[in-house]
Chain A
Amino acid sequence: MAKHATPLLDQLESGPWPSFVSDIKQEAASRAKNEKGIDYQIPVDACEDLLGVMELSYVHKRTHWKHGGIVGVFGYGGGVIGRYCDQPEMFPGVAHFHTIRVNQPGGKFYTTEYLRQLCDLWELRGSGLTNMHGSTGDIVFIGTTTPQLEEIFFELTHNLNQDLGGSGSNLRTPSDCIGEARCEYACYDTQALCYALTMEYQDELHRPAFPYKFKFKFDGCPNCCVASIARSDMSFIGVWKDAIKIDQKAVQAYIGGELKPNAGAHAGRDWGKFDIQKEVLDLCPTKCMWMEGGKLVIDDKECNHCMHCINVMPRALRIGDDRGLAILVGAKAPILDGAQMGSLLVPFIKVEDPYDEIKEVIENIWDWWMEEGKNRERLGELIKRQGFQKLLEVTGIDPMPQHVQEPRHNPYIFWKEEEVPGGWQRDIKEFRKYHQR
């Protein structure tokens, strides 16, 4: 018997998509039954009370969580999001309902053994409710009490060899696309770089030392499956520099219809017979492809590696062998100055363990932003405030046309004094010798 009536939420149990309400109800029932005889460390009816407070929110159409909440574990300045219900008498099971961020493994690959260890820990010491996963990448444990935080952290680190993720004004938990683990487009090992930088910058991740939050994301190619270009202050996107590799026999197999375009992604509808002219050559953004004597030709110098032709004919076209990544910086959501996507800073950099060149770019940017960034100013906003030129200066990167979509159209151009012959210190008397008042 449910503790609270939830007539509105009950309506979200029907329909085909997996119902979070049904799932929470099954967890509530499992806790009430407690077949394993667990000595639950937070209220047994936490899930019931969560449904209760949600139902009240569905009636009021307002949240019932109090503002903020500052909790954590000793040694760290982040990793736990404190939360308290604003109706603790009605819903004591969720009076405390803190979230713990647990740093996920690269590519979000798991063994069931490990997932079960997490479940056992969280069932005992938390609500049994999770997010798989948070937008930034973390495994998210939703709902526990303050006294359990250190206990959970102790078990995570001692028994599971597992650390917390980031929160606050620091380096947040980095995340990656599946990369070379299961994708033929990957231009570098996203998991290796993501892991190496996460480990290198553990201090920056656990102890907030920045003006505001800072995120890394690692995409293996410009398809951007982890959306680094939109969702990370520093976006690492794989690219290649040399020629796209063409298998002319496979090209013919696409033209002949033996191979399905785009690996069969459009199979749900009849789009007619594959037309290489219409579907590939004419859609190439730089028009650098053509057919010559029945063969596909690519003028690779003019290719901007958008991935379209490779995406359409994955068995005929492959990424080049001279591989690396591009670094784009400054992406953020709208608050405060407006949304930004990453802006190209480094067009190409080799990805070689121990990644010293990449770390140098990161650390140069941090040195600048940590000193100059205002309180709660994202990197993208600092770049807008002080100028892209300043970013180039602090990273020691020479300006190049690739840095802009287009040159400026206003002529309000700053010059440095040393760039101008004679400098800026001038005498009006000297000027007046030749120009009467």
Chain B
Amino acid sequence: MAFISSGYNPDKPMEDRITDIGPRHYEEFYPPVIKANKGKWLYHEILEPGVYVHVSETGDEVYTVRTGGARLMTVTHIREICEIADKYCDGYVRFTTRNNIEFMTPSKETAYALKADLESRKFAGGSFKFPVGGTGAGITNIVHTQGWIHCHTPATDASGPVKATMDVLFDDFKNMRLPAHLRVSLACCLNMCGAVHCSDIAILGYHRKPPILDHEYLDKMCEIPLAVAACPTAAIRPSKVEYEGKTYNSVAVKQDRCMFCGNCYTMCPSMPLADTEGDGIVLMVGGKVSNRISRPTFSKVVVAFIPNETPRWPTTTATIKRIVDVYAANAKKYERLGEWAERIGWERFFEKCELPFTHHLIDDFRDPAYYTWRHTTQFKF
């Protein structure tokens, strides 16, 4: 491995440095039919799962074929995307806000040839490289995070549970049989990078043990007041601690006030809390971001804990599949999962989905918790 310079001179680091140029301008990357018809679109139609047409007031049409993406992808895979885009789409391609890939062409024939080609491509292990779907009232890609691939604070993995869940929900990626679209998201800790707090179904990594304190190093590694201020329940205070015959400036954690959020570890490397048996998954449901019919809502916790079952998280995926199927069988057309649960009442939601209701699901975080209890005799037996 011989070092190859880019031209950067480490002896004069600020020489010839270019900064603050921002992203490339979007117009450089518009396919011609997009550029010509921008702002002139009249309507669209979903021709079949994964295939759209948009029609412009100029009469122009653009066909879009949407395919699933693993989000985590290699340059080899991106080059294959490029090869396909060159073959069918004059070298243009885009990605969606849910990390699917969209190929566009002005020709219907090309779109269907493209679709057939996409669906014929498989990885060596047998999975589809480019499954077509993710449109309309179905289940599209799972917005997710880094997990054990790259992050230091996760309580679960991201790529693994997502692959396992999408395998189980695959038919609904390829179909549009649900009452409304159903968004699934995953975050590997409660920093909730992404969309877990606002999704129809959300998978959330969670810890169940307080941090382990590395007293010997804590004061050297951490700004103690920041760790103290990082705690939402004020479970942490500065403390002088005797450890192996020496006295250290460190912190004390009131364990019965700790709810294992891990935010102190984010601020202080000497407070790790990851644990094989303690960590696992929380399931949330009923969130949405659109303003359609009802207001945007947060997802709510409905399963307090499922263990991390590597490599395929079978309990998690089976529970999700059950919720999806009960929702599909019971909700009205256009009704999002949260709207359905609100209409029938959460007591019915738990009954129909066969989910045990435990004390963990009752809000106890500060004043707003009160507003989540039931202040009425309106309930169902």
Contacts and interface: CB of A to CB of B under 8 A. Distances in A.
Contact of A58 (B54, B173, B311): B311
A97 interface: yes
A61 B131 contact: no
Given A162-B21, A229-B289, A335 B92 contact: no
Nearest to B142: A17
A283 interface: yes
Interface of A: 8-27, 30, 39-41, 43-44, 47, 50, 53-54, 57-68, 74-76, 81, 83, 97, 99, 103-116, 118-119, 122-124, 128-133, 135, 142-143, 147, 150-155, 157-158, 160-163, 173, 175, 177-178, 180-184, 186, 189, 191, 195, 198-199, 202-203, 206, 222-227, 229-231, 260, 262-269, 271, 279, 283, 285, 305-308, 311-312, 314-315, 333-339, 341, 375-376
Interface stretch (B237-245, B246-254, B267-275): B267-275
A244 to B, nearest CB: 14
Contacts of B28: 105, 111, 114
Contacts of B70: 17-20, 23
Contacts of B18: 157-158
Contact of B20 (A112, A163, A307, A315): A163
B163 A268 contact: no
A227 B289 contact: yes
Contact of A135 (B74, B181, B194, B368): B194
A14 B17 contact: no
Contacts of B287: 230
B18 to A, nearest CB: 4
B285 interface: no
A105 B26 contact: yes
Contacts of A124: 4
Contact of B292 (A105, A128, A202, A311): A311
A182 to B, nearest CB: 6
A262 B95 CA distance: 23
Interface residues of B, number: 146
A195 B127 CA distance: 37
B357 interface: no
A419 to B, nearest CB: 27
Contacts of A47: 74
Interface string B93-135: 1111101010010000000000000000001111111110001
B73 A39 contact: no
21 contacts: A9-B160, A11-B311, A13-B125, A18-B70, A20-B159, A107-B94, A112-B81, A118-B78, A130-B74, A132-B101, A133-B71, A135-B194, A150-B13, A158-B7, A184-B44, A230-B287, A231-B289, A264-B46, A266-B333, A311-B292, A314-B43
Nearest to A304: B291
Residue from A76, A177, A231 whose CB has the most chain B CB atoms within 10 Å: A231
Given A12-B312, A180-B39, A198-B22, A23 B74 contact: yes
B150 interface: yes
Given A17-B170, A97-B150, A265 B181 contact: yes
B198 A230 contact: yes
Interface stretch (B226-234, B319-327, B343-351, B373-381): B226-234
A161 B21 contact: yes
Contact of A112 (B82, B136, B194): B82
Contact of A230 (B14, B23, B170, B197): B197
Contacts of A109: 26, 29-31, 34, 92-94
Given A119-B75, A128-B75, A334-B197, A184 B41 contact: yes
Contacts of B370: none
B127 A263 contact: no
Task: Rank and list the top 6 A-B pairs by shortest CB-CB distance, nearest first.
Answer: A13-B125, A265-B136, A106-B26, A15-B167, A22-B123, A67-B269
B151 interface: yes
A43 B1 CA distance: 8
A115 B78 CA distance: 8
A62 B29 contact: no
A9 B191 contact: no
B208 interface: no
B293 to A, nearest CB: 5
Contact of B45 (A118, A133, A260, A308): A260
A120 to B, nearest CB: 8
B276 A22 contact: no
Contacts of B294: 285
A111 B311 CA distance: 36
B267 to A, nearest CB: 8
A19 B76 contact: no
Contact of B94 (A11, A110, A129): A110
B134 to A, nearest CB: 11
B152 interface: yes
Given A184-B41, A230-B195, A22 B34 contact: no
